[in-house]
Structure formats: C-alpha cells, structure tokens
Structure 1
Amino acid sequence: MLLQATNITKRYGVTEILHGINLQVLERDRIGLVGVNGAGKSTLLQILAQELSYDEGQIYKAKETTIGYLAQNSGLQSELTIWEEMLNVFTSLLDAERELRSMEQEIAALAEHHDDDKAYEELLERYARKQDWFKDNGGYEIETRIRSVLHGMGFGSFPPDTLISTLSGGQRTRLALARILLQAPDLLMLDEPTNHLDIETLTWLEDYLRNYSGALLIVSHDRYFLDRLVTAIVEIERHQSKRYTGNYTRYIALKAAEYESQMKMYEKQQDEIARMETFIQRNIVRASTTKRAQSRRKALEKMDIMERPTGDLKRASFSFEAEYMTGKDVLQVDGLSYSFADDKHPLFRNVSFYLRRGETVALIGPNGIGKSTLLKILTGDLKASSGSLVWGSKVKIGYYDQEQTHLNATNTVLEEVWSAFPHMEEARIRTVLGNFLFSGDDVQKRIAALSGGEKARVALAKLMLQKANVLILDEPTNHLDLFSKEVLESALLDYDGTLLFISHDRYFLNKMAERIVELHPGGAHHFLGNYDDYLAKLQELAELADENATSQTPNPAPADDSSSGADAAAAKNGAATFEAEKQAKREERMRQRRLEQLEQSIAELEEQIAAIEAELTLPEVYQDYTAVQERQLLIDERKLQLTAAYEEWETLAEA
C-alpha cells in the first residue's frame, strides 16, 4: 500500500468542504477522482500532497513512497533552458556519472603504476557497484528519456537551449507535466493534466500513463481519457467519497444501478411502513386486535428507517432554439488564408469547406494551427489575408469564445445577461440564470470573481437567449465539469440549427460530430463521421500508403507481338498473386493488432481482478455482506472475460 487516507475532514471557517473522506492507493492503481466543480477534488489532492492542512482524520504513507503532485495549470517557473531543467530531474544520476568518470581516472592511474594491487582491486569493486547502480537506475537512458518525453509533450521542434521564461503559460504548464513524468514518482497525482493539450499530445500522454510503472491518482473532466486509463473511480459528492471499480463509463452505470436499487428498497420499506401504520390505526382501538396493533407499533418504532436516496445533484438545465431557419446553404469558404501582420509565413492557407443547414461539423488540428483564428474570421472579428467566405440567407450567428473575452469583468452576473437583452423582464433573466445554477445572491457576483466554470455558464446563458440558427463554439466543454458537459451535449443534440465547433474533448467529438474538418498549414482535410471514424480512416490511409510503398515494382520492358499472349497471362497471374499477398498482409496486420488488443485487455483484466480482491480486504467491504457479494460477482465476471481473452490469444498466437 502506497497511501491511505482515513476520515479526512476539511473546513474553511464553518464551511465544510470534505467530510470523512477515505481513500486507499495500492501499487499500480489507476484512480480517477471525479465530482462537480467545487466538490473539493483539488483540495483533497493538496491535502494528500501535504500542501494543505486538514482538520480531522489520518494519512498514512510508506516511508519509501515518493509522491509527485502537479496542480492545475501550474506552469514551470525557471530561468533555465528546457534541457537544463529536464536534466535537473536526474541530479543524483549525473553526480554518479561524474563520480564514475573520476574513478575511471583513478583506475587508469593505479593500473599505470602497479604499486598497490589491493587498492586497485577495491577501487574496481567500488566502480562495478556504482556502475551497476547507475545502469539499474537508468543512467545510460537519461537523454533518450528526456527527448522522448519532450517530443511527446509537443517540444520536439524546440531548440534545447530555449529559455523557459520565453514560453507561453500553456507551454510552461506542459513542460511542468513533462518534468514530473521524468521524475517518475511511485504515486503520480495530476490535477486536470489534459487541459489545453491538443489531441496528438493527449493520445501520447494516455499511452505513456497506461504503461506507467507507478500508481496514478488523477482529477479529470475528460471522459475519453478516464475511460482509456483508469480502473477505479472515486467520486466526491456532498463532501463525501465513494469508490467504484471500473472506468468512467462503468462508474456511470454502477451509480445509476445503485440509485435504482436503493430507491426500490426505500419504496418497498415505505410501502411496508404505510401498511403497518394503516393496520395500527384500524386495530389499536379494537380489544380483540389491540395487542397485535401494539406489537406492530413496537416493530415500527424499532425499524431502521431508510433515508430517501439523494440521487444526482442539481444540474444546469437549458436548450438551444433557433428563432428561424437558414437557407439550405449556410456557409461556403474558399481558399482562405491568414497571416499575422509581422509574419511572412501564413498561419494557414488555402482552407476550403462548406456548411449545410442542420449539419454538425467539428474543426480539429494541433495547437497553434489557427483554429480559433479561423472562427474569428468567420464571425467577422478578424479579416482574412486572402480567400473568400459567403454566408447563406437568413443566417443568425451565435458565437462562444473559449477565452470569455466578450464578458465584462465589472458586471454582475445579472447585469451581464440583462445588458445583452435589455428588453427582457428581470424575472425571465433570473429564471434563465437559475437554470444555469445561479440562484439567490449568486446573480450579484462580479464576473471577475467567477471561476472558469461559472463564466462558461454565463456565456452559455447568453448564447441560449440569442436564439441563433448557427452556433460557432470554441472549446465549449473547457471549464465544465462532467455533468455540465452531459447537459450541454443533450442541448446541442436537440438543437435544430447548424453547429460548427472546435474541441479537444474526444468524447464530445464522438457524440456530436457528423463531419470533421482537419486544419493543417496547407489547407484542410475532410472526413465523414465522428472522431472514432476519423481515426479509422487515418489508419486505413496509413495502411494503403504502406501497401503502396512495399508493392512498387519496376515497369516491364515492352514485349514483342509473339509473346503478348504469354505476357498477358503472366500479368494476370501476377496481379492475382499480388492481390493475394496484399490480402495476406492485411490479415496479418489485423491479427497482430488483435493480439496487441488482447494483451492489453488481459493486463487490464488482471489489474481489475487484483484491485477488486484488494477491496475485499477493506473493513467497510468485508463487514458488508452485500458489498462482498457485489465484488465476488465482479471477480467472477472478470475471470470469465480473462479466460476468453487467453483462449482467443492462444488461438491467434498459434495461427
């Protein structure tokens, strides 16, 4: 066990943030920490990292356990270069390397003089031990590890001598994450590590963390990330914690089933109480039945009355409606380019795409490619360097800016919305804000004092009231918690207008996108379908390119007439052979991919079984018969899946 927190309670004044939190982290655990904004997730990580005090409870950490903690948006502050800062992670190894070089010089000197064989032998032994330690701790892989992590985190093209002080805030945040990955602590605690990462970097980070040798405790609102990475979810709700086995999708299913089961038990007990009370009222005054009635009354008094299951917390509730419909052709973009005034090289060029009424289109691409700039050109906030764009008839645009620059920091929440819709009654404005979880005195908060999630809700409230028939959204899920994202998705899925959006949220992309436009410096690529369809198409294109590269053959010399028939037959046979070889290669690649998938599944299933078996040793589990039964059923289910996976793997491996 690496870490155990028991009955942790944290208060700010009289306000309780966390109450009786229990958390256990074992080796190789992959735990996702979830909850609405403000639930106390970041507070808990700070407490576990010993950066914040707590009022009650205990925290146990094994002496040898190393913990790494990266707070949300914590950019690296350093006057060093990128390479120097990364090398600082390996100070002990670099010291050992210098010691080895010094010992090598001593060995050479002693070998030359041959005047102290004993000292020479002792030095060789010390050198061997030091060298073994250096090798075992990755001393010969320092540069390789640094280059690999920097490349994965998007710094592959940066000169190593780039000063960290010259980087942007987002770049320094990514560099801080790269640094803590290189430190490789036994327990890695990350608070929203996927914020502001592009899809390529996100995918690399997922793969890196899936193979991470230590344990992970991660706060994230990225559902795709949680589904791919974690094997347990700890939910913080109403100041308390509850652990669920499985990834995010499994957690949602378990929580829903748990609520349904508890509600059935509650309703069953309420029916029983009602029957008992009716019997008592009818029979208490009758001499012949009064004893039975009194007996029922005593039984009722002794009954352990269940509280009504609380269910989900209050969520935002809203919908988007179009005041009127556009024409069939909504937007046509042709050859669009954009360059900054002081830069000869365009940010992007030759971008062309279209929008039709009712479509939902996602715009994707790496950070810095110009996606947000393109949206601002479409909304008229910026002017293109070249190219054309034509909006269709009866278009009314609603624009969501991820930076919230259209919000006035000095306004209150009520003033911000009311100033945009001055002819609307105050009662109507307050009702709308209530649907976005601003009630009572909340509407008098200044915009400047709001959290990122609260600002996002104000912007969405204004967007809803516009009744636009074309929505242009720049990272609409940023700053929203998991539950608010689901509400936004539902509202957009029911929207009758046209939607163009930028997002790095792959779960959101999968659920929303009908078509994807991928922006690159030379233009745009177009893909039908959602994010998974896009990945499948990229894989297909890569396989075709591989096949074409391996199947290039020299052109045959021209044949004379007498041999044309034989050549034609040979060509036909050759084509058939080539197609058969292509099919065989394709099948082999599919077999290898399936083997890799099965190996990953086997590893995950074995981890899940071990984690569930570990839960059976917890007092709160083994003292609860129902909890034991639930875990045992899960173990049986996972073992069946594991057996099936092993059998399929053996069959494919022998093929």
Structure 2
Amino acid sequence: MILLQCSHTSKSFGSEVILHDVSLSVQTKERVGLVGANGAGKTTLLKIIGGQMESDHGQVSFAKDVQIGYLSQNSTPNSSRTVWEEMLSAYTVLLEQENELRSLEDRIGDPQVLADRALYRKVSDRYALLSEQFRITGGYTFRADTRAVLHGLKFLNNDFDRPISSLSGGQKTRLALARLLARKPDLLILDEPTNYLDMESSVWLEKYLQSYPGAILIVSHDRLFLDNVVGTIYELERGKTTRYTGNYTSFLKQKEQLFGQQMEEYKKQSHKQNQLAEFVQKNMARASTSGRAKAKLKQLNKMQSVEKPKSSVGKTRFSLDAGLASGSDVLNLQDIAVGYNGTVIANNINFDLSRGERVALLGPNGCGKTTLLKTIAGDLIPIHGDIRTGFNVEIAVYRQEQDFSGTTTVLDQLWNQYPDMDEQDVRGVLGRFLFHGEDVFKPTCDLSGGEKARLALAALLCKKANFLILDEPTNHLDYQGREALEDALLDYPGTLLLISHDRYFLKKLAQRVLELTANGTIDYPGGYDYYQDKRQDFQQKQAVETASKEDIKIGSAKSFYLETKEREKNERKRRRRINQLETLVHDTQSEIDLLEQELSQPDSSSEYHIYQEKGARLQDLQRLLDQYLEDWVSLEEEID
C-alpha cells in the first residue's frame, strides 16, 4: 500500500526554481533515501511533505489514518519537562489506558460492584478488553523500550531527570529523535538524523531502523548509513527526482550505467542525423538523387531529437599535489599529553607516521582528537612529551570550523593566502570548487557551510603540502563533494592524518586506524573494516588483562574467578526465572480466560457463593498476572 504520494510538486523562491515537477512515493515498510547536491531542495521537499511549507503546484497525499513522524534538521523540544517526562509524553494513550486499568482493578474489588452481577460483568469485560489492548500495543514494555532508545542515543540514567532547558542544542535534537522513535509512526521522515550522533550512536540507529516496523524516508549525507538502511534511492537533481532500486552504492553504479546508456544513445542518434543531413545537402540539388534526398529530409524531420545527457550539477573534480617529497619518517610522538591551560585531556600518546600512509584517528566525542591534531599542527603546545617531524615535511591543516567571518571576498581570501599566484590562476582554482562568475566576489561571512568547506579545500589545493591533517573534512559537503574529495585523497602521494565520523569515507581511505582512549592510543594496522573486526576482541582481551592485573596486585585472583562464576550463576538464574514467568503468564492468562468464560454463562450466578468465589479468584489471577509481567519486564531490563 502506498503511504505517501508526492505528485508533480513545484516550489520557487522568487525567481529561483527549487522543485520542478517532483514525484515521489513511499510504500508500507519501504526504506527510502533522498539524495542530492547541497541546495537541490531536499529539505524543502521534506518540509512540504511534513506540512511545514506549502508547494506552489502539485499534490501531497497520504493513506487514510496514516501516522506521520517528521524530524527536521534542527528539531529542539522546548518545555519545562524533564528528559523522562518528555519521552513519556509520546505514550499518552498507553498512560491513559494504564490509569484506567488501575481504576478498574479497584472497582472490581469493590464490594458494591461484586454484589451487582450486571455491573461486575460490565467492569470485568471492560478490564479484559482493555488489558488485551494494553498488552498488544506494548503497555508492559514501553518503559523498557524508552530506556533502550535513550541509552542508544547516549542519554545516561542520570540524564533522565534533567530539565530539557539544561540540554545543549545537539542533545535536544537527539531527544527529539528519541521521542519520535518512541512514537513509532507509520511513516518516519528524518532529515539528517546522524548530524549530532557519534559513530557508535549512528551504528545503533542503523540497527534500530533496520527492524523498524513502519516505512522510512531519510535525507542523509552519511552514505554508509544509507547503504545499511535503505532499499530505494530518489535523487533530486535539477528540480526533478529519479528513482533507483537498491542502496546508495547500488544507486551510484546504476546512475553511471544510465548516463553511459543515454550518452551512447545520444551519440548514435547524432551520428544518424549527421549522416542524413550530409546526404540531403549533397544530393538535394541533383535531379537524379533529389527524390531520395527529399525522402531522407522527411525522415530527418520526423526523427525525435534525443537530448544530450547532462553530468551531475555542480560536480567538483580536483587533485592534490604533494610538492616535494618528505623523508620516509614523517611524524614521531613520544609520551605526549595534550590539553588547554595545563588541563590534560589526553595523554600517554605514542605513534609514528611514515611517508604515504593514510591514517584515521578515531575515538569518542570529547576524547581529545581535535586537540591532538591542533597540537601536531603547532596551534597548541603539548603539556609534556616530544613531537618530531621528519625531513622536508610540509604540513597543511583542514580545520573542522572554518573562520571566514569577515567581509573579505572569496577571491581575495584565497589570493591573500597565495599572493604569488596571478588572478587567472586563482579564479581557475576557485572554479574547480564551483565558485563561478560573480560568486568569487561574495563576502566570506555570507558563505554557507558547504561553501566554506569548498573554499578551505581550495586553499589546501594551493598549498602543495606533503602532509595533510584533516579534521572532519566531509562536514557540510554533499555526496558529490565527498566523492570528489575521496578521489583526490586516494590519488594524493603525500601523508594523511584525519578525523572523520563519515564511515564510508573512512572505509575508502584509511589504511591504518589509531584509536584515542583514556589510556593512550591503540594502533590497528589495517583499514576501517579491520578496525571494526578487531576492536571488540581487543577491548575484551584488554578488560580481562586489566582485571587480572588488579586481582594479582591485591592477591584476589581467586576472588575474581569466584565473582565471575557468581555473576554467571545469577545470569542463569535470571534467565530460568524469565522462562518460568513466561510459563506462569501463559497459564494464568489461560485460567483467566476460562473463568471469564464461565462467569459469562447465563446460569453462572445460580449459586451466588460460587459466583463470588470465582470472581474473587479472577481478581487474584489478574493481580498475579500483573505481578508476573512486571517481574518479567524487570528481569529483561536487568539483562539488557
């Protein structure tokens, strides 16, 4: 069934056409990715679908009674509630049902209700119906589900009671995402959901969405995220959409094949048209061949012209020159500690870089990665330790935040950095980064995030350094810009040290991974896939070794062994108890069903004391069932 149908939608802002005759559909349980260059209109289209903006033409329609959940790029809940209260506000129906169930339980135990057979039957029937609805819609698990979502998006237990007003902008956006996931709408519309997520949370969200029961429409620059989540891609280009079946990588291959087929068709028809035109020109004036020439002219006029296929809008292509080669040893760090104003953020850092290596520096947010890069680049002084660069090493740095706040034009910004270049060469470099015509006179303070990133890359190109330090270079770049940067860095003959949350980027580029931890760096001598495979094993081994060393120090290796066995024993007990509870729930529910059936029979009240006994037994069973379910949920949460 089609949940969303967007037909012939158009939208303009003044004279600028953003969307022109756009069509898109999402079916039940379908996972759809919407991709396109920056400024192509992806967010505008989502706002129209989400009801936050009206289109100029066209229609957006939804299936009857479909529930829509829309997360914009900067969704920030503002209320006086706490984090936990905000999450529970997504379950208003379940909370109302829960309150009614408690009230019905009290009424069933009321002597006046017990004495009135008709009233008792009415109350018990309502309770049976409501408790079943409550169970089916997740009434016994929604609190556990809520905790799991919050934990997955990096909210700790002690964050639950925090007021929303005390959260950062990124935390508010994550909370808005968590609340939306808790609602479980039929159609989930997400605009850049991984923007404020670290790598671990992005992986968690991927797995969550892979098993999500509804349909999903996503805009994201995270290409590996799209690869792992979606099965359909719509590309928005030149105001129109093209549909591709498959994930992001499949889309790229299909698009390249389609372009090749269209170009081949265009060439064939152009060749045929040229042949016909040439024949007509040569033979029209000759009496012996004019008849054939007229027939060819008629054939030529009837031919439907095939439009020459256009390459992607705003496609960046560039290469990075490393200048003079460095020595084989590029960088050596010995016992480095980094931080600000004497406060250590990361220490015990030791590693070497050799010429031509492409190394990724990874670690959780806040562990000191950017601080370490700034220290290597010379922006900060190490708190202690020794940093040595090798022979003829020339460093260029791409910083995460570009400081283009002044009124200097784009042209002057680059020219001032490289005054020995002539204007034509500067304009040529800028043109390769999509600054054309009057764009070069735009003040840098008015540039978008993507434009600032492209200007910084243009400056990097001009430096011709043999050691590049890159801090989140794909931020603000669209997928075409990211691919262009990847291609340039793959061909770059110098040395790379980079930070990135873009796992697709890392998979293509990294030959080696350095993980920054609280105890220093861990060296993974392989690419990103190797790092993922080895990291978990390494951490488990490290945890066992650390625990063993501590036990040896305090002479309690036996205690550690016994504690481990006790934990395993308790785990087995919990799982056995869960199995017992599941059996008890099943048996109790069966007995409840049987009693309710007996009490509903016309002659069931003929012996009043037996009727009362069965009614009292039914109440006891309902309480037991609630207790069993509560214990089951509690044990499941402990295991999680």
Give CA deviations for 1:481-524 in whole Å, capped at 9, x if unaligned. Answer: 11111111111112122110001111111111111001111111
How far apart are residue 289 of structure 1 and its match? 2.6
User: What percent of counterpart residues are identical?
Assistant: 48
1:408/1:416 contact within 8 Å kept: no
How far does residue 122 in structure 1 lie from its aligned partner after superposition? Answer: 0.3
| Pairing of 1:190-339 with structure 2 (within 5 A) | 190-339=190-339
CA distance in 1, matches of 2:66, 2:113: 46
Matched letter for residue 413 of structure 1:
V
Q: Does 1:460 align with 2:457?
A: yes
2:60 corresponds to 1:59 = yes
Q: What's the CA shift for 1:187?
A: 0.8
Match of 1:444 in 2: 441
Q: Secondary structure at the match of 2:110?
A: helix
Structure 1 segment 48-447 matched on structure 2, within 5 A: 48-110=49-111, 114-156=114-156, 158-339=158-339, 346-405=344-403, 407-447=404-444
Letter in 1 for 2:286: R
Q: Structure 1 residues 307 and 325 mapped into 2: Cα distance closer, same or farther (>3 Å)?
A: same
CA separation of 1:109 and 1:357: change in aligned 2, threshold 3 A: same
User: Offset at 1:64?
Assistant: 0.8
CA distance in structure 1 between the aligned counterparts of 2:29 and 2:406, rounded to whole angstroms? 45
Which amino acid in the other structure matches residue 491 of structure 1?
A
Superposition RMSD on alpha carbons, in Å?
2.1
Q: Is the contact made by 2:331 and 2:352 (CA closer than 8 Å) also made in structure 1?
A: yes
> 1: distance between equivalents of 2:326 and 2:166?
46
93-102 vs 229-238, greater mean Cα deviation: 93-102
| Deviation by residue 1:592-623 (Cα, 9 ceiling, x = unmatched) | xxxxxxxxxxxxxxxxxxxxxxxxxxxxxxxx
* CA distance 1:132–1:340, change in 2 (3 Å): farther
Q: Which residue of 1 aligns with 2:483?
A: 486
Letter aligned with residue 444 of structure 2: I
Structure 1 residue 388 displacement after superposition: 2.6
CA separation of 1:480 and 1:393: change in aligned 2, threshold 3 A: same
Q: Is the 8 A contact 1:197 1:367 kept in 2?
A: no
Three-state SS of the structure 1 residue aligned to 2:154 is coil
Aligned to 1:12: 13
- Aligned pairs for 1:605-644 (under 5 A) are none
SS in 2 for 1:202: helix
Amino acid at match of 1:7: H
Structure 1 CA distance for aligned equivalents of residues 293 and 339 of structure 2:
87
SS at match of 1:139: coil
Counterpart residue type for residue 488 of structure 1:
L
SS state of the match for residue 273, structure 2? helix
Q: For the residues of structure 1 that align with 2:317 and 2:250, how far apart are their CA atoms? A: 25
Instruction: Assess if the C-alpha contact under 8 Å between 2:409 and 2:442 holds in 1.
Output: yes
CA distance in 2, matches of 1:403, 1:157: 32
Tell me the distance in 2 between the aligned counterparts of 1:202 and 1:442. Answer: 35
Aligned residues: 545
Q: Give the corresponding residue for 1:499.
A: 496
Give the deviation of 1:352 after TM superposition: 1.4
User: Which secondary structure state, in structure 1, belongs to the residue aligned with residue 140 of structure 2?
Assistant: helix
Quick one: distance in 1 between partners of 2:494 and 2:523? 21
User: What do the CA deviations read for 1:89-114 (whole angstroms, capped 9, x no partner)?
Assistant: 1122112211211222222214x663
Q: Secondary structure at the match of 2:235?
A: strand
Q: Matched residues in 2 for 1:464 and 1:113: separation?
A: 83
Name the SS of the counterpart of 1:140 in structure 2.
coil
Q: 1:118 to 1:251 in 2, by over 3 A?
A: same
Cα pair 1:31 1:234 within 8 Å, conserved: yes
| Matches of 2:537 and 2:254, distance apart in 1 | 36
* Structure 1 counterpart of 2:26: 25
- Whether 2:500 is the aligned partner of 1:509: answer no
Would you say the 8 A contact 1:332–1:354 is kept in 2?
yes
Matched-pair contact (CA < 8 Å) for 2:209–2:229: yes
What are the within-5 Å matches in structure 2 for residues 536-555 of structure 1? 536-538=533-535, 541=538
Deviation at 1:540, TM superposition (A): 5.1
Q: 2:360 is aligned with what amino acid?
A: A
For residues 518 and 103 of structure 1, what CA distance do their matches in structure 2 show? 56
CA contact (8 A) 1:147 1:156 kept: no
Distance, in Å, in 2 between the alignment partners of 1:430 and 1:76 is 44
Amino acid at match of 1:329: D
Matches of 1:546 and 1:426 in 2, distance apart? Answer: 59
User: Is the contact made by 1:177 and 1:193 (CA closer than 8 Å) also made in structure 2?
Assistant: yes
Is the CA contact (8 Å cut-off) linking 1:332 and 1:389 kept in structure 2? yes
Q: Name the residue aligned to 2:472.
A: 475
Tell me whether 324-333 or 4-13 shows the greater mean CA deviation: 324-333
Offset at residue 169 of structure 1 (A): 2.0
What secondary structure is seen at the aligned counterpart in 1 of 2:348?
strand
Once the 2 structures are TM-superposed, how far is the Cα of residue 174 of structure 1 from its aligned partner?
1.8
Contact 2:410–2:443 (CA<8 Å) still a contact in 1?
yes
**Residues 24-59 of structure 1, C-alpha deviations (whole Å, 9 max, x = no match):** 110011111011111011110000001111011111
Instruction: Pick closer, same or farther for the CA change 1:276–1:173 going to 2, 3 Å.
Output: same
Letter in 2 for 1:468: A
- Matched residue type, 2:70: Y
**One-letter amino acid of the counterpart of residue 447, structure 1:** T
Distance 1:276 1:420 in 2: 56
Q: What amino acid does structure 2 have at the position aligned with 1:53?
A: E
- Unpaired runs of 5+ residues, structure 2, are 547-640
Q: Tell me how far apart the structure 2 counterparts of residues 518 and 78 of structure 1 sit (CA, whole Å).
A: 38
Aligned pair in 2 of structure 1 residues 288, 393: CA closer, same or farther (>3 Å)? closer
Give me the whole-angstrom Cα distance separating, in 1, the residues matched to 2:414 and 2:12. 33
Q: Deviations over 1:261-309 (max 9, x none)?
A: 1111111111211221222223222323322221221121111111111
| Contact 2:510 2:528 survives alignment (8 Å) | yes
C-alpha contact 1:371 1:519 (8 A) present in aligned 2: yes
Paired residues of 2:350 and 2:521 also in contact (CA < 8 A)? yes
In 2, Cα distance between the equivalents of 1:113 and 1:177?
A: 45
Q: Return the alpha-carbon distance in structure 2 between the equivalents of residues 245 and 330 of structure 1.
A: 45
Q: Is the 8 A contact 1:436 1:461 kept in 2?
A: yes
Tell me which amino acid in the other structure corresponds to 2:424.
A
CA-CA distance at 1:546 after TM superposition: 12
Unaligned runs of 5+ in 1: 550-655
CA contact (8 A) 1:3 1:60 kept: yes
Contact kept in structure 1, 2:108 and 2:114, CA below 8 Å: no
Check conservation: 1:377, 1:383, Cα contact below 8 A.
Answer: yes
Is contact 2:113-2:119 (8 Å) kept? no
Alignment of 1:570-581 (within 5 A): none
Query: Could you state the TM-score of these two structures normalised by the residue count of structure 1?
Result: 0.80
Alignment partner of 1:80: what SS?
A: coil
